[in-house]
Structure 1
């Protein structure tokens, strides 16, 4: 068993810029790999001499390799974001709960900005097992067209799944939708009793998107969201990721919306 407290050395073998402030790192174990990850789970990534933060997997290549998409917003994330091929980082995990991919006929994936990263393994899984799902729909939003991650891959997905993209502000050459993700969700044809919805993005986006879907008749317990807090240990012992009764590194980050909804309503949380 890998000691969950000890970072395992991983080397950056590829770095791909996704947007102006986000990049995807392909990490390969220097020695023994970590246990296998599942969609929705996260690793604690360590930049030597800077610190450690939780980052969800944005792909599960196999063979012990990890894919993580990092947005540069703080000291540690900037160090990880800027890690060039050859850099050795630390990784602990896997930690956390997973997306429910087993009780659905129609799969609806709703992402806001870099929130598409933790949902990317879901889309890849659905494409690899396309016969398991009657319908797969991606609704992805961002502030501007330049803030939409994985744009080339999303275009390829459109050959096999339904893709709806929307931005808060369009620009030169943008011919797609302009508006919040709740707008296409309000009119998207759905077989509500057969739909499972997976949501990741800014908290207000998830809250309003979930309420839109539930108002339309999607059962609340078939709507899942991925929550974000300050995780430091990954094992539920330090308490930094407490959200009401939850310790998100243990009880999350993926939870059913009926669990998250009352917590969203308390501003102090």
Structure 2
């Protein structure tokens, strides 16, 4: 049986939750599917003196919590497109689930927002190395903001694979696919099969994987079988996020007793941490 991790004031992870809710106005709304909407948000007013301020730019893969009426809290992943000429203040988020009966995010509405929170994609070590992006279903949106950032950081090469596509995509094709309203990828080879066919330089490759959790873990193992160190494979665990207040404990990555939680330790984690903590 795994032990319960206490989060005490002053804990590094606790500081991720220090941001007070701030009112944001919805300036754009897109429906992506049942329970999922993408919202463009801009602060409704400047923060009060002495109030916690968010990072100048959120890291792709971090998440926000939208506080709705009645105490409902909705986790939303950051999918801000850094190439959009919409100003630094605009943040784009995609809700991970919208509770039944909730209508949210009408253009002009005010929503209380907390964040960004958690660990996003770690791109610190990609310079001069090969980057492999593998996404399936909603994971495509999680990975799409990374294309321009990878180029800016001087990666040696970028390869992208979207579940349901029969071939590796060029960067313009990936951007078009990820940004198309209501895109639905047709069935195709699974992520782990694509990973198993890759020609890799294991010591100089970083792989970022986003998709249904069992499939993402299978893909990580396939990449490790090809020689990648587990620390060089990052997985998105956004699907585990639940309450948005880090209290319920339902976002454990291993319900049988592991100590890692998506809200506190993730939602993006290197696979070696998952192996050790699950």
The reply on whether 1:96 has 2:118 as its aligned counterpart is yes
TM-score (norm 1): 0.74
> 1:154 & 1:47 partners in 2: Cα distance?
36
The reply on whether 1:123 has 2:147 as its aligned counterpart is yes
Calculate the aligned-residue CA RMSD, in Å.
Answer: 3.3
> 1:124 & 1:48 partners in 2: Cα distance?
36
Shift of residue 232, structure 1, vs aligned partner: 3.2
Whether the aligned pair in 2 keeps the contact of 1:43 and 1:55 (CA below 8 Å) is yes
The reply on whether 1:232 has 2:243 as its aligned counterpart is yes
Cross-structure match for 2:136: 112
User: Residue 158 of structure 2: which of 136, 147, 162 is its match?
Assistant: 136
Report the count of equivalent residues.
236
Cross-structure match for 1:64: 89
> 1:13 & 1:24 partners in 2: Cα distance?
11
Q: Secondary structure at the match of 2:145?
A: helix
- Answer with 25-34 or 92-101: which moved more: 25-34
Cross-structure match for 2:74: 53
TM-superposition CA deviations, 1:147-190 (whole Å, max 9, x none): xxxx9x962648xxxxxxx9553xxxxxxxx2212222222222
Q: Does the C-alpha gap of structure 1 residues 230 and 24 become closer, same or farther in structure 2, counting only changes over 3 Å? A: closer
Mark the runs of 5 or more structure 1 residues left unpaired by the alignment.
Answer: 146-150, 159-165, 170-177, 265-269
Q: Does the C-alpha gap of structure 1 residues 227 and 3 become closer, same or farther in structure 2, counting only changes over 3 Å? A: closer
> 1:123 & 1:24 partners in 2: Cα distance?
19
Cross-structure match for 2:41: 27
Shift of residue 66, structure 1, vs aligned partner: 1.0
> 2:45 & 2:96 partners in 1: Cα distance?
27
Q: Does the C-alpha gap of structure 1 residues 168 and 211 become closer, same or farther in structure 2, counting only changes over 3 Å? A: farther
Mark the runs of 5 or more structure 2 residues left unpaired by the alignment.
Answer: 1-14, 48-52, 177-183
> 1:195 & 1:118 partners in 2: Cα distance?
19
Higher strand residue share: 1
Q: Secondary structure at the match of 2:163?
A: strand
